[in-house]
Every structure is written in structure tokens, then in C-alpha cells.
Chains A and B, each alone.
Chain A
């Protein structure tokens, strides 16, 4: 950690303790569910981000990590967490029960794509249609880019996604789907472009074993959501903290490490295309 960041941290901490001494610190923990929509196994980074949020919110913050989207969805529905960073697909599914908190900016835009990746030595594949009869890795059944997109593409061509591949399996995370292709276990996988790009920065040796064969259109970036019962004050505070991350040095550093440019409030319309695809494929 650069020295000046440490200094800033110390200064902020001193300021916060003064504030705490004056106003008192609210003890109710804010729970945020994290999903494999991003590189959720960077535990050190997550811990640092959590500390940052605690400091900013002046509240204890707990990150609740679940591998499967479904689990996170359950946590939200059962109101066991206040906020969650989920994929666009679950968001669309639970739209009515959730409030859109913020959308991260991926390379300046609140969007991402689905990458169709194949082993690096496979130089022929141009689209998912070339992978008929192969072994294919899906990320999660509630993933847009890792499940909905490839199946949508197959369905569009008139084939049946259920029998198109010889064998399919779920890795329950985009990161592991990349691993599956890199290891040669699967001959193809559909992954979150943001995860692939982030991994490409951290572990280029793994991404080098894969090749992006096809890129989808853009979809709304996995949103941060709040369950409907979260008080407005908490909602707005959280939103404010996230959106202001880019305005302080530590926040910018964390964003850089998350491979993000910032957070915006976003709008539900960002996810209309996903909803449309879901309808077209008959899942909504």
C-alpha cells in the first residue's frame, strides 16, 4: 500500500473516531451479500473494501459470500441481508422485491458482455454454434452471461439448448468456468466479460490458455441492490458512499483493484434487454 494512502487512512480514521465520539456509532450491522459476479475470491481486497465501507458508513459492515446466485437470492428474499451485488438475471427475476442501489462502471460504462471462451488451441470456433456436441461449462443457472446468453443464442438458431452439447456442467462461478476451459475440462464456456478482463489483469497465465471466440452485445452491469425493507436513510447513505468512492484516494485505489471506474445510480431500463431475452427463451 502506498505510503500516502496509509496517511490518508490514518487521517480518516482519526476524523471518524472524533465523529464517533460526538455522534455515537450506530451498531446495527449492514450486511452485503457478494456473489461470484466478480472475482469474489480476492479475499484481501474484499476485506479492505469492507473496512472502507465500515469507515465510510460509520457502521459495522458484513460481507456475506455465497457461491450460488440462488443462495444470494434467498438471502435477499428472506431479508437476511440488506444489500447484495448480484447478477442482472437474478435482478430481473426479483425486480419487484428489490431496489436498484447502484451500478458499477466497467471501463466507464454500466455494461458488460458475455464472452464465449474456448481453449487457446481451438482456433476454429467463431460462435457457440461451432461447439455442438462438445462439453460446455455454464457459470450458474441464474447467470445472464454465463447461462442465459449461450442458451439464447442456441435457441435463436433453432436448436434445443438441452441437447445441443454433449455434456454441460455448472462451475458456479465465472472464474471457475474460465479455469474449466483453461484446464481443458470444457471445450467452451460463457463468462462474464468483466470477470475475464479482471482475471486477465491479475492472472494472465490462466486467461492465456483461453481464447475469446465470440463477444455478445452489451448488457446492464450486475447491479448492487437493496431488499425492499431497507430504510431509506441506509439506502441513500450506502448509495452515496458507493458513488463517492471515486472521489477519495482510498476509494479510487479500491476501484482500481476491483477493475471498476466507479458507481452510478443506474436505472432499471439497463436490464430491459435481459428481460426480453428471458421472455424470448420462455423463462419469464
Chain B
């Protein structure tokens, strides 16, 4: 029995000049699944993520998230619906501490506005305390708690990836998009990341990820979509993908 889709990509296209970055792409992400998007460099994976999060406008097609057409929505509005992401190159707020970074992930759970800020109202204080406690729990979960009060700019690569993940989790999203979370990590760090991702899934959060590490993808994911030059050339379970001749030819050949 297939779960209902939480994210539906419908005939989505995007081109830069004459280059089709994503071409007439359709697929679904079932709720509660871990799904991967794989493909060679330049296959349109990161563009796809930017389209889903609203950082770049669609040229044609539709994106339906949690029963809602989000085509014209700005990224912050999509975030409000429960869409979180990380970035291939970590987009850390380097001028802030680790905890403050995670607090931004909690931004939408707060209501304090300009007057609360200027007057340091009771609401602002109570809200901040609740946010901080929640964020510390998240940091505990990703094992970054000792760094909570360090400057985010001083973290090592693997810790940056953890911080991005913590920020996304603090949002309490319905779906998280991970853009190459394992790139540049050691084997242990990757294992740690994978266990976090499984934990997220077990809590009912859907995961969509872009990844180059085939070992990780095949072990972690329930479903895989394969892109090549912006087009979908295959979709299925890890076993199905590993046996698809065409996919092996364009992508997996050298690795499996």
C-alpha cells in the first residue's frame, strides 16, 4: 500500500538561456519516505531543490506540497508550510553563535515583532526561553551541544553540516531536503548523519535528498529518482535502480 504523496512534482521545467536544467520532470515523494535524487554533475539536482524551495521560479509545471499548490510562493512561505532544506555549500550565519543559528530555524514558531524587540517585552522573553530550550534539545540530538555558544564561523566542515541539519530540524518540518549532506565528511560522520536522517524519518518527517555517495543512497533510501541532463531516466527502489541497464550505463556504471 503506497503512502499518499506529500510532495508532487508535475511536469516541471526550468532552463537557463538555451540550457534545459530541468526538463518536464514529474515524480512524487510519498509521505514518510526517504527518497533520493541522483544523477551526474549538472543533471539538475540542485536546480530542482531551488525550484522546490522557491529560490528560483518555475518556467512551467506545478509543485504541490502537502495538498497546496506552492508555485507562486516565496521561500519563506513554503518554509511556513513545513518545507526545510540544507545547502550543498553550508549557508551558515557566520556572525552568530551555533545556538543563534538554530534559533533562526525556530523563527516561525515565534511571534514577537518590532515592538516586542524594542521594548524587550515579557512575551518576547518567554518566547525566547521556549525557543532556546527547544533548540538546545535539537543540538543535543545532533550532538553539537558542546558548541552551542561558539561562533558558527569557527566550526569544522562536518559540524557545519550538523548545524545545517539542526537548523532544519528546529523548524519541525514536514519534509526536509538535504543537498549532499555527506559531501566532505568522514566515514564516522556520515554514519552519524545517516542515523539522524533515519531518526527524522521515524518521527514521521519525509526526507528528500541529493547525494553522490551511492553506498549511502542504496542503504538509506526507500526510493530513488535518477536524473540526467534535467530529465528523469529512472525511478524505483534501490534494487530496481541497481538493475536498470540504462541507468548503469549513464551513471552507476563506474561505481557499482
A associates with B: no
